[in-house]
Structure 1
Amino acid sequence: MRTITAIRIWLAVFIVGLVLSGVTAFPLQAELTLLSQTLHGSPAPGLLPGLVEWVDRVRHALDDSGTRYPFLSYGTDWLAFAHLVIAVAFIGPLVDPVRNVWVIWFGVIACAGVIPLALIAGGIRGIPLGWQLIDMSFGLLGVIPLLIALRLTTRLPTPHTPAET
């Protein structure tokens, strides 16, 4: 019983991460404005001028596109929705990890896919390497609870399927 509880805790950590990532993709303009103001009110401009310049650049781009082309934000709305839908998929392993171990594997593969996507798309889109590393960290951090849940799941007995006749 302890193993099932531990699996559920690790899967819940992953689900919460997905939900938070999804929900925070909706108010990007407000978040970037707040981040920019916070950075400017801190020692960051002197210590990390490149970071402050990048955040300001992204904030200005979101403000401009939000004013002139608000429909572009619809793409990040769908990104947010996708995170929430993927989180729902992990309810299956939360209830029955052995039967739904494939969903955990799906999550591990998706987390691994974050790294080439960040490097390839980030390079094509002109995203600074430091920001690509931050993006990659989501895959690296996300895979940790999944790998723990996967390892624990393999310790559980598997249900026997009836022999085919």
Structure 2
Amino acid sequence: MIVGLVISGVTAFPLREELSLASDLLHRTAVGSWFPDVTAWVDRVAAALAENGERHPFIAYGTDWLAFAHLLIAVAFIGPLRDPVRNVWVTQWGLIACLGIVPLALIAGSIRGVPLGWQLIDMSFGVVGAVPLLIAWRLTRRLERIDAGPPPS
């Protein structure tokens, strides 16, 4: 979780450059012709980010805060890494956040005109993120039982 959140956070800062690069790569490789709808969407987003960057650079400040939030959330997961039983609430909170990604992507994505395929990609982050958190939560529950000792007779 920590590594994934840090990567998500760090890569949220240069969105304009990343989308421009993605667009270029799609047009220079066969992948772009295999997935024309993806190419069109990446082109549209890259153009919007470029236009906003030129005309309204302060809009990117919102994604800077998004990036910072990812990095801050990553720091929260240091607690369960150091003391999983005492910080099990962070793992549970992470699971709740992963579950919340699904309705957010569906509702906000629909309102904002994001294609369903892209919404599914966004939802996959919640599903994929929930897997290690579920494993960690189950292992933490096991540790709790071990720490509690045998039940009284």
Q: Same fold (TM over 0.5)?
A: yes
Q: What's the offset of the Cα at 1:47?
A: 1.4
Asked whether 1:85 is paired with 2:72, we answer yes
Aligned to 1:55: 42
Aligned to 1:108: 95
Asked whether 1:73 is paired with 2:71, we answer no
Report which of the two has the higher share of helix: 2
Q: What's the offset of the Cα at 1:44?
A: 2.5
| 2:102 partner amino acid | I
Runs of 4+ with deviation above 3 angstroms: 157-160
Name structure 2 gaps, 5 residues minimum. Answer: 149-153
Of the structure 1 ranges 132-141 and 38-47, higher mean CA displacement relative to structure 2 is found in 38-47
TM-score by length of 1: 0.87
Aligned to 1:123: 110
Q: Distance in 2 between matches of 1:157 and 1:65?
A: 51
Of the structure 1 ranges 37-46 and 81-90, higher mean CA displacement relative to structure 2 is found in 37-46
Q: Deviations over 1:10-45 (max 9, x none)?
A: xxxx11000000100000011001100110011133
TM-score by length of 2: 0.93
Q: What's the offset of the Cα at 1:128?
A: 0.2
| 1:70 partner amino acid | P
RMSD (CA atoms) = 1.0
Aligned to 1:15: 2
Q: Identity percentage over the alignment? A: 66
Name structure 1 gaps, 5 residues minimum. Answer: 1-13, 161-165
Larger RCO (CA under 8 A, 6+ residues apart): 1
Aligned to 2:127: 140
Q: What's the offset of the Cα at 1:94?
A: 0.7
Q: Distance in 2 between matches of 1:35 and 1:46?
A: 14
Q: Distance in 2 between matches of 1:110 and 1:98?
A: 19
Partner SS for 2:144: coil
Aligned to 1:11: none
Aligned to 2:151: none
